[in-house]
Amino acid sequence: MTKTQGISFINKSHGAVKLNTRNTTFAKISSSRPAWWMNIKMTNFEKDWNILLADEKELKWIFIPADTFKDTHDHFRIWEAKKAVDIYISSDKNDRYLKDVSSGGSEVNFKPFLKKIISLPQDVKIEEGEFIRNKKGSEKSLETLTHQKILTEGQKGISYQNLFAHRLKGSKKIILQDPYIRLQHQFQNLLEFCVMLGNNKIIEEKLEIEVISWNTKEFLEHSRSSFDELTTSVAELGIDLTFKFEKHHDRFIEADNGLKIILGRGLDIFEKTVGRFSVGEVDQTWRKCKACEITYVKK
């Protein structure tokens, strides 16, 4: 379900056009925790503001009157770089349901602001952050082609497996463009990405990966040597990795299943682990993330 579709559901059920894209925040349940995650500009709380929370069965409309939260710093965790509040509204009915559970917030309870709950029609589903409508006599058709995941500074529970695996499954050829695969930990990231893909495919099948990267002139040969070594290593996984050096800015993954994943920071999404025996070294979900955005686009 898209924001526009959610707004349409509310306006039709309410009998008058009240909501629009300029006065409404829309959120679906996060894939990493049982909560609706959102960023809202601090200045938006100076006026009447709407929040739509979508799950598999219902759409919840929360209405916050103007100036309810005059000093947002007293109530919410603040994302200073974007001048926005960072909110996780719990979807777990056994744990602080409809409260803001983000660390650094004051556990604002949104239940008093709940204005309306709408049951979604049976032919509408929320699956993997995308809107699917069933049509009689036909296969499911994808209506929404873009989905975004925003990682916050220090967030845990993230891995290449839960970010990419099910979206890239079945692909035979993948292009990864990332100009910043230069340092040891960045090559380690690429190796872990390849291991995830190797475990994600049918053992007997081959997977082609083309990596487009760059380095300064004096270090190109060092990068070439590292790519050559990594290419030999991942061949054991049934992965045919090729690479070339071209100077680009954009970072993305493009697969032959029609999916393009735009990477705000490339594969370099994790903070450095601390200590000689860090659990995060062997399990990505225990590592802290760097703040970035990942956008999935179906072409």
Question: What are the structural domains of the chain?
Answer: 3-133 (no CATH), 146-298 (3.30.870.30)
What pLDDT is attached to residue 144? 41
What pLDDT is attached to residue 182? 93
Strand partners, 19: none
Residue-wise pLDDT tens for the chain (299 aa)? Answer: 778 888 888 888 776 668 999 999 999 887 667 899 888 999 999 999 999 999 888 899 999 999 999 899 999 988 877 788 989 999 998 889 999 988 778 999 999 999 999 887 765 544 434 433 444 433 333 334 567 888 989 998 999 999 999 899 889 999 999 999 999 999 999 999 999 999 998 888 899 999 999 998 889 999 999 999 999 999 999 999 999 999 988 999 999 988 999 999 999 999 988 888 888 888 999 999 999 999 998 86
pLDDT tens per residue, range 172-189: 999 999 999 999 999 999
What pLDDT is attached to residue 127? 44
Apex 253 CA angle, 292 and 190, nearest 5? 80
What pLDDT is attached to residue 62? 95
What pLDDT is attached to residue 82? 78
What pLDDT is attached to residue 80? 79
